[in-house]
Amino acid sequence: MDIRETAARYYDQNPDFPDDIPFYLGLIPPDASVLELGCGTGRVTLPLAGHCSYIQGIDLSPAMIQIGRERLQQAGIPPEKARLELGDITNLNLGRRFDWIIAPFRVLQNLETDGQVDGLFQVIRSHLAPDGNCILNVFHPNRDQQGLCEQWVDPQEQPDWEKMVDGERVVCSSLAAAMDKEKLVLYPQIIYRRYRGDTLLDEAVLKIVMRCYYPHDFESLVENHDFKIVNRWGGYHGESYGHGPELVLQFGMGSRSKRPG
């Protein structure tokens, strides 16, 4: 079952995507091969396809992959430059290695169980070139763990954004539906509604998983899977790690890095 099928048509309307594309374009060299885990509709795939030698995108949603393929075709990008395929990023064997592996916009946080997380890191290990680099990111929680557990769940639907698309009004809201306080897993719902005037034409509800990581926990997660952290950022505009809206780690093969301080 594709949980994103009904919401896929609204995904690219989101005005709140992070400004991460210049970050990836500035970091990944033009001669690199790239594996993008959780590519969705190709938001990052498309600009990278025009920049690097080859990019392979993987996603579990047939609806998202179809939109991404249409975008690549419309842009005139041939299969030898970019390809999007259906696949499970926690259980994958493409039979090749890549210079860079990325999973933009908090893909890691959509993995609910330890087994899924372990599977992702195994996929990274089996597909990353010996001197390659991987970048993972998560959001930096805006409150401490106690505050998160006490305050996150909210039974009231909250408005997120609204915009006009082809003469119709698209409204997005969210619901902080439930939380596993022990594992720090959030269960938000994203609700899209499309109106013509005051008439509701369509409603799509996307139920997702967001597993939370704090700065030290995120570093430990990478290091405990025996990767070496080589760079840390707190966002995509020079924020220091632990002091920005995002937690971004670049790491490669090899022994664990020493923690600063």
Residues 12-39: pLDDT tens digits?
899 889 999 999 999 999 999 999 999 9
Query: pTM of the predicted model, to two decimals?
Result: 0.94
With a cut of 80, say whether residue 259 has pLDDT above it. Answer: no
Give the start-to-end residue ranges of the domains of the chain. Answer: 8-141+213-253, 145-211
Supply the pLDDT for residue 254. 74
Average pLDDT over residues 45-61: 97
Q: What tens digit of pLDDT does each residue of 63-105 get?
A: 999 999 999 999 999 999 999 999 999 999 999 999 999 999 9
**What's CA 232's distance to the chain center, in Å?**
17
Q: pLDDT category, 256, cuts 50, 70, 90?
A: very low
> What is the 3 state secondary structure string of the chain?
CCCCCCCHHHHCCCCCCCCCHHHHHHHCCCCCEEEEECCCCCCCHHHHHCCCCEEEEEECCHHHHHHHHHHHHHCCCCCCCEEEEECECCECCCCCCEEEEEECCCHHHHCCCHHHHHHHHHHHHHHEEEEEEEEEEEECCCCCHHHHHHHCCEEEEEEEEEEEECCEEEEEEEEEEEEECCCCEEEEEEEEEEEECCEEEEEEEEECCEECCCHHHHHHHHHHCCEEEEEEECCCCCCCCCCCCEEEEEEEECCCCCCCC
* Percent above pLDDT 70 for the chain: 97
Q: Which CATH superfamily is domain 8-141+213-253 in?
A: Vaccinia Virus protein VP39 (3.40.50.150)
Instruction: Say how far apart CA 136 and CA 103 lie, in whole Å.
Output: 6
Query: How high is the pLDDT of residue 255?
Result: 56
The pLDDT tens digits for 120-169 are 999 999 999 999 999 999 999 999 999 999 999 999 999 999 999 999 99
CA 140 centroid distance within chain? 14
- What pLDDT digit, counting tens, does each position of 229-239 carry? 999 999 999 99
Q: Taking 90 as the threshold, does the pLDDT of residue 4 lie above it?
A: no
Q: What is the mean pLDDT of the chain?
A: 94
Percent of residues, the chain, with pLDDT higher than 90: 91
